[in-house]
Structure 1
Amino acid sequence: MTGKKPFTPESLLELRGVSDPQLAPDGVRVVYLEHWIETIAKDGHDVPSYRSTIMLSDGPDAPPRRLTWSPTGVASAPRFSPDGRYLAFTSTRHGDKPHLYVLDFNGGDARPLTTPTELSEGIQAFDWHPDSSALCFLTTGHKTADDNATARTHDERVFDGRLPFKFDGAGILHPDRSQLWRVGRDGTGLAQLTHTPYDIEEPRWSPTGDAIAFTSIARPEHEWSYIRDLFVLDLNTHELRQLTASQGPVEAPTWDATGQRLAFLGHNQRSGPATNVGVWTIDLAGGLATCLTDGIDRSVGSTTMGDVHFGSHPDRIAWSGERLFFTATDHGRTGIYHVPTSGGKVTQSSTSGLSALNFTLQAGTIAFHGETNTRIGEIYTMTEDGKAVARRSHAADEIASSYAVSIPEHIAFKGVDDWDLEGWLIKPAGFTEDRRYPLVLYIHGGPHMDFGNGFFHEFQVLANAGFGVFFCNPRGGRSYGEAFTNAVRSHFGEKDYEDLMKAADLAASWSWVDPERMGIMGGSYGGYMTNWIITHTDRFAAACTQRSISNLVSFAGTSDIGPRFSRDEFGGLPWTDEEFLMSHSPIRYVKNVRTPTLILHQENDHRCPMEQAEQFYTALVYLGVPVRFVRFPEEGHNLSRSGQPQRRINRINHMINWFDHYLKPTAE
């Protein structure tokens, strides 16, 4: 590590990452997105902005090459046509809304299939016809010039019983519903296929070409609770059939090769939202859906957290003959697994120690995004059984060779009730045994997410700034079994608090840690727990609470997920359970706070609304507690992972400055 650069907040601008690997039908070629940050002139100022391009790897030994060259915009969702000749993708090269483009591998530039003139709201998800002649896609609808003129003179938003009416990252929702459309590969034949009263998501064209499956809300009372069902549109008869009668989520529908069965991800709410997500199948002819993964006490999908996850990483399923492939997370490490389509033993395919954020499968080959907690993710391929693992991208090579990475140490310890818990420790840069150091205990969000085998730029920066960083998984995370996940529901601030105090006790016992210079921090659920902790103990010398919750009663009516999360996670609703919710609200106990507190919050956060931070800040000022309140304009809940780059840098600098002041002696 001699001569390598230390990670700083500003090193964020040098990071590069990858996402969304897609295999060609031959299982050899791989396309993926490469992401970076580039300074772009905007409104007379140079602004660091995200860019992305589509890369192609022709084989395991071939260097990747760039496919798209637009000087502006962001490319997303590259998808090979079933015949392998074309590549469809979305791009914002002609405005702020994504539109659909097709590239012919035989030559020529990418051609737009949709335009802002035809579809002013852009497009959402899309899928290919099995003969590669057309594509289906989602949009909120066709807007004429007259429609847009009317919108400018009537810009009020009207909602007649719709809930949610806003969503984090999207803002106030568009009054129109997303519907299913089609367009020919040559851009002709644009037509709307559905006119449903609810949003359509995740369209999947059947391998026979005569049907499209998608997910949607079946019943109006389920919209706010996110219960979804699986539907199939018959393109010959225009009949729309509902295949499932779900009690929970339904996601990622995927056809088998015959077009007679569908697989999807979902659960039956037996433990509410803490229920393990499973792989289910259902026959097109009808009948009950069957869960194939009840044999493992783990939830399907990736819950491993990191802050260099550029792009989107949706959970997927893939059919391969008589097996179904999927990801699942165990002890903070996401792997690729498979199960017989008739049910039976679940088997893991080795990913050589890499956490597989997501994957795709074609012709016996798997392509996946693989990362560790010491290396930013890259694209890899392997056989279905985990052999011949080969790296296909090199986006982060420069970072790996030029930056000094502090290696997290795995820590196993006991929580309350003798539960087995684990965490990871990054010691301060330049660590020596003969010194005592400050340490911060970091709490993850969710609460059903996990720290583990994922890379965090932020943790590397904090360690380089001279702090030990201990990040652990109290009860509530999703990679330790359903009972572990469910343990926090209706019990926020109870045994999860005790687990975290056990972690703090352990950290304070390490000879190199100064227990008088320990800090506490976290975001979202971690922000709630930070607020809860400082209202119940003054053992920490400083706190940083981010995108937090302080009042469970007001949260229920102001968050985009308020009623559902309040009922299903916190354990009640204000109009029936006000006292219970207030008894679990940090704001009730705020008069106990003595800890100097930094509050970081985003003004467009619809998940944990700004009013939550405002209440807590107002109380701390009134009570005379040292407090600083930093409001980030324009940003939503995910500032730390995908916010405007300069604001991400500023956020980390605010943390370091706060902890420098309160956790380090003046001489340092």
Structure 2
Amino acid sequence: MTPTELNASSRGLVTEDLCKIRKVGAALLSPAGNNLVYHVSVADIVQNDYQDLIILLSEDRSTKTVLGRGTAHAWSPDGSELLYETDNGELHIYTVQTATSRFLAQRHDSSFFSNHLALKNCIWSPDGQYIAYLSADLSLAETENNDVRVIDDLLYKSKGGRGRPAYSDHACTHIYLVPAAGGSPALLTPGPFNEHSITWAPDSRHIAFISNRTSRPDDIQQSDVWTVAIQTLEITRLTQHTGMTYQPAWSPDGSHIAFLAVSGYLGTNDSTAEDTHIGMISAGGSHFRYLTKSLDRRIEHIRWHPSGKHLFFIAGDHGDTSIYQVNIDKEEITMVQGGAGCIYEFYLNGSGEDLVFIKADTNRPAEIFATSSQGTVIEQITQENTAWMENKTLQQAGTFRFQSFDNLSVQGWLIPPVGFTETQKYPLILVIHGGPHNMFGHDFDERMHLLSQAGYAVLYINPRGSHGYGQSFSNGTIMNWGGGDYQDLMAGVDFALKENPWLDEERLGVTGQSYGGYMTNWIITQTSRFKAAVTDGGISNLVSFAGTSLYHSLMESEFGGRAYERFDLLWQWSPLRNAGRAGTPTLLLHGETDNEVPFSQAEEMYTALKKQGVDTILVQYTGEGHGWRPDLSPRSKADLNERMIRWFDTYVKAAVS
């Protein structure tokens, strides 16, 4: 692997550029395919916040109209109107012909967290008469008491961060119905349960949804597909299988409902090791079957072809994320749109012959693309990041494979520093992903390019546990955090150093966020080869994590039972257990209101390292949630990255090789 040499005057990504990146998402194509609306998140450094802009493209794609701040939800069936939500939760309908909006209803959010794949969507009925939406019943919400908080359930925490409450209000989210022409909303699903991820039947008489209606929904992570009849309000359970279900989609002819599902008895509201697959049942709830098991990849974002004969979906494979289709009769799977890069989401045009999709690459932020002529022509529709990137040099990542300690094939990527020349030796930073079942690949990651501009080569690897390589590979961390995955990472570092003599093996650093932060903590207790470490939102003690995290079910799912039945195993794989062996200078970065990986995880590791005499600093970000997430405020994100680079400059770049 030999990176292209660049002019020494080239300049890559710097922290000031973080506020220039316009993050594109949620592209909605009108039924006739003539109108396109999408979402752009833009940082506002003055307000220390993000503006979520709704942008409408003209039919000839030449004019952009900003409809406001918020989220676009759905086009009317005839494409003449758009349902959108303002940033204060108001639902509005925009009429394209008159360029006017009218208020429809007020939607409320609960701070209760169901799971990462739960959709709080708002949808238009196929007959155009009604809008169904999800909203919290705040009349039953618990008011915040600053003096006394009484807790009597398990899911009492929320995700927190950036002004969001750190504790759940316990308000249930239900399905409401309002006439599209305006009127009073009607509650369809009263009761003590939460509903999410709704889809209309083609006859506009029923809505399918997901709900956890077990005897202990705050403890048992199991959910099913249900339906509610619009006229009678009769609620019917359709699925009976063990596991979690997500994101149902009713077939165009009304005969089937497709959905994402996993079948594990010990479910989790966080990152499950089990790959999601497309399940399908009849509209009456019978004849359950999986359609995509033969692909052996994690499935996301399902959509029906208008004919009802195929389902389209996204799946990650060896670092690329592509669009596939499955024939529902023969269960044959073919790739529709793919190649190097990561496709986040997509939409079919009215005929189902062409697509609009959002795609990023390692050196290009996401933009919207469209196909024509049955997919033979691809056009980039948006240019949200083109102007500011014209004078930037963002290095392309090169991919490679290596054999780990047990001959398992593992994939990695290497980004050279900006201004690279093979006549110099460069320090190397290993970046580790979260999850543990996330997947690195041909995607855009700001950290990589900030480090590349700072003069570092950047190595990132998908160790066992990552998705995109099949279920067996994804299961690689089960009962074994810090075991085979740690050895994969070290084997990848050794391989990169051997194959690239321009890398300086005496100047190595390591960083990661969330599970990557856990692995960073683990690494410094296992080896002294790294000159510095930066732990971002990382876990240090699996025992205390299991009792304090919003994701306490993750420990049950990963380690096969209740935490109190697995204390010996959880402690065995806790970095804190081996902190006495650590000597690597370590910077710990953590959000104050992080309930996913509580701040106490950083405190435990910091105290142990400090008592061990290790050079260490703990940085708490007031009011911030979990680590490197996109909603980290602009100022905190800039500070976090500057501190990371300064730490590596001090201990890695300045090290004598």
TM-score normalized by structure 1?
0.90
Q: How does 1:336-415 map to 2 (within 5 A)?
A: 336-351=323-338, 353-363=340-350, 364=352, 365-382=354-371, 386-415=375-404
CA distance in 1, matches of 2:106, 2:373: 39
Name 2:533's counterpart in structure 1: 543
The alpha-carbon deviation at position 114 of structure 1 amounts to: 2.2
1:328 aligns with 2:315: yes
The alpha-carbon deviation at position 5 of structure 1 amounts to: 4.2
Name 2:168's counterpart in structure 1: 173
Q: How does 1:111-260 map to 2 (within 5 A)?
A: 111-115=102-106, 124-141=120-137, 143=139, 151=143, 157-163=149-155, 165-167=157-159, 171-260=166-255
Tell me if structure 2 keeps the 8 A contact 1:217–1:223. no
Q: Which moved more, 1:429-438 or 1:598-607?
A: 429-438
Tell me if structure 1 keeps the 8 A contact 2:394–2:418. no
What runs of 5+ residues in structure 1 fail to find an aligned partner?
40-45, 302-314
Name 2:3's counterpart in structure 1: none
Tell me if structure 2 keeps the 8 A contact 1:352–1:389. no
What SS does the corresponding residue of 1:27 show, helix, strand or coil? coil
Name 1:24's counterpart in structure 2: 30
Q: How does 1:5-154 map to 2 (within 5 A)?
A: 5-39=11-45, 46-59=46-59, 62-68=61-67, 70=68, 74-92=69-87, 97-115=88-106, 124-141=120-137, 143=139, 151=143
The alpha-carbon deviation at position 634 of structure 1 amounts to: 1.1
One-letter amino acid of the structure 2 residue matched with residue 100 of structure 1: L
What SS does the corresponding residue of 1:176 show, helix, strand or coil? coil
The alpha-carbon deviation at position 153 of structure 1 amounts to: 7.5
Q: How does 1:184-583 map to 2 (within 5 A)?
A: 184-269=179-264, 273-301=272-300, 315-321=301-307, 322-351=309-338, 353-363=340-350, 364=352, 365-382=354-371, 386-509=375-498, 510-562=500-552, 564-583=553-572
CA distance in 1, matches of 2:47, 2:233: 48
CA distance in 2, matches of 1:155, 1:349: 57
The alpha-carbon deviation at position 357 of structure 1 amounts to: 0.6
CA distance in 2, matches of 1:112, 1:464: 47
One-letter amino acid of the structure 2 residue matched with residue 101 of structure 1: H
Tell me if structure 2 keeps the 8 A contact 1:163–1:223. yes
Tell me if structure 2 keeps the 8 A contact 1:408–1:424. yes
In structure 2, the CA distance between the partners of 1:334 and 1:152, relative to structure 1 (3 Å rule), is closer
One-letter amino acid of the structure 2 residue matched with residue 113 of structure 1: L
Name 1:304's counterpart in structure 2: none
Tell me if structure 2 keeps the 8 A contact 1:9–1:458. no
In structure 2, the CA distance between the partners of 1:168 and 1:568, relative to structure 1 (3 Å rule), is farther
The alpha-carbon deviation at position 497 of structure 1 amounts to: 1.0
| Percent of aligned positions that are identical | 32
One-letter amino acid of the structure 1 residue matched with residue 12 of structure 2: P
Tell me if structure 2 keeps the 8 A contact 1:350–1:387. no
Tell me if structure 2 keeps the 8 A contact 1:99–1:112. yes
Tell me if structure 1 keeps the 8 A contact 2:10–2:418. no
Tell me if structure 1 keeps the 8 A contact 2:514–2:627. no
One-letter amino acid of the structure 1 residue matched with residue 429 of structure 2: V
1:657 aligns with 2:639: no
Task: Provide, for residues 380-407 of structure 1, a one-character-per-residue CA deviation record: whole Å limited to 9, x for no partner.
Answer: 1225963222222111111332211111
Tell me if structure 2 keeps the 8 A contact 1:227–1:246. no
The alpha-carbon deviation at position 6 of structure 1 amounts to: 2.5
Tell me if structure 1 keeps the 8 A contact 2:398–2:413. yes
Q: Which moved more, 1:359-368 or 1:545-554?
A: 359-368
Tell me if structure 2 keeps the 8 A contact 1:158–1:175. no
In structure 2, the CA distance between the partners of 1:585 and 1:639, relative to structure 1 (3 Å rule), is same
One-letter amino acid of the structure 2 residue matched with residue 584 of structure 1: W
In structure 2, the CA distance between the partners of 1:299 and 1:574, relative to structure 1 (3 Å rule), is closer
Task: Provide, for residues 84-122 of structure 1, a one-character-per-residue CA deviation record: whole Å limited to 9, x for no partner.
Answer: 111011112xxxx42211101121432222248xx6969
Task: Provide, for residues 453-485 of structure 1, a one-character-per-residue CA deviation record: whole Å limited to 9, x for no partner.
Answer: 101121111011011110111111110000000
What SS does the corresponding residue of 1:418 show, helix, strand or coil? coil
The alpha-carbon deviation at position 558 of structure 1 amounts to: 0.3
Q: Which runs of 4+ in 1 moved over 6 A?
A: 120-123, 152-155
CA distance in 1, matches of 2:513, 2:220: 23
CA distance in 1, matches of 2:222, 2:72: 26
Name 2:590's counterpart in structure 1: 601
What runs of 5+ residues in structure 2 fail to find an aligned partner?
1-5, 112-118
CA distance in 2, matches of 1:300, 1:210: 29
One-letter amino acid of the structure 2 residue matched with residue 399 of structure 1: W
In structure 2, the CA distance between the partners of 1:142 and 1:651, relative to structure 1 (3 Å rule), is closer
Q: Which moved more, 1:120-129 or 1:168-177?
A: 120-129
What SS does the corresponding residue of 1:540 show, helix, strand or coil? coil
One-letter amino acid of the structure 2 residue matched with residue 16 of structure 1: R
Task: Provide, for residues 278-306 of structure 1, a one-character-per-residue CA deviation record: whole Å limited to 9, x for no partner.
Answer: 111111122132111111111112xxxxx
In structure 2, the CA distance between the partners of 1:351 and 1:500, relative to structure 1 (3 Å rule), is closer
In structure 2, the CA distance between the partners of 1:452 and 1:584, relative to structure 1 (3 Å rule), is same
CA distance in 2, matches of 1:399, 1:354: 21
In structure 2, the CA distance between the partners of 1:173 and 1:287, relative to structure 1 (3 Å rule), is same
Task: Provide, for residues 27-74 of structure 1, a one-character-per-residue CA deviation record: whole Å limited to 9, x for no partner.
Answer: 3322111221234xxxxxx33321132223344x53241141x4xxx3
CA distance in 2, matches of 1:124, 1:574: 31
Q: Which moved more, 1:326-335 or 1:21-30?
A: 21-30
In structure 2, the CA distance between the partners of 1:198 and 1:591, relative to structure 1 (3 Å rule), is same
CA distance in 2, matches of 1:316, 1:58: 27
Report the number of matched residues: 633
The alpha-carbon deviation at position 572 of structure 1 amounts to: 4.4
In structure 2, the CA distance between the partners of 1:154 and 1:508, relative to structure 1 (3 Å rule), is closer
One-letter amino acid of the structure 2 residue matched with residue 49 of structure 1: D
CA distance in 2, matches of 1:159, 1:240: 30
CA distance in 2, matches of 1:621, 1:66: 54
In structure 2, the CA distance between the partners of 1:352 and 1:507, relative to structure 1 (3 Å rule), is closer
Which of residues 581, 598, 618 in structure 2 aligns to 1:629? 618
CA distance in 2, matches of 1:653, 1:48: 17
CA distance in 2, matches of 1:205, 1:410: 43
CA distance in 2, matches of 1:517, 1:343: 54
One-letter amino acid of the structure 1 residue matched with residue 319 of structure 2: G
Task: Provide, for residues 166-221 of structure 1, a one-character-per-residue CA deviation record: whole Å limited to 9, x for no partner.
Answer: 34566311222011111222331222111122111012222211111110102133
The alpha-carbon deviation at position 4 of structure 1 amounts to: 5.8
In structure 2, the CA distance between the partners of 1:168 and 1:339, relative to structure 1 (3 Å rule), is farther
Task: Provide, for residues 494-524 of structure 1, a one-character-per-residue CA deviation record: whole Å limited to 9, x for no partner.
Answer: 1111111101212333322221210111111
